[in-house]
Amino acid sequence: MGKISKYFGISHFVPLFLLPLWRKLLCKKGYHVWDEVWSTGNDSGHYLVCDACELMVIIDKIDTRYVCK
């Protein structure tokens, strides 16, 4: 796994029936229902997606050069 292992297993569970309400009230405020996706196809590869609003954050594009370790 190497580079991606530090992100492996990110998930935030919200029941399906609450997702429309979550999207309406909380995604607007920046609170997302993150789920980790690892694709072997030719798309985005390794990313987080919000199950409520489908916002996508591509993990490989995160710049951590200035983060204290």
Identify the residue with better confidence: 11 or 3. 11
CA distance linking residue 46 with residue 34, whole number of Å = 13
Residue 38 within any structural domain of the chain: yes
Indicate the number of domains in the chain: 1
Domain that holds residue 34: 2-61
pTM for this prediction: 0.70
Q: What is the pLDDT of residues 23-45, one digit of tens each?
A: 999 999 998 999 888 877 666 67
Q: Is residue 68 part of a domain?
A: no
Pick from 49, 52, 54: nearest CA to 18 = 52
Res 11 pLDDT > 60:
yes
Cα dihedral 58, 63, 68, 69 sign: positive
Considering the domain boundaries, does residue 36 fall inside one?
yes
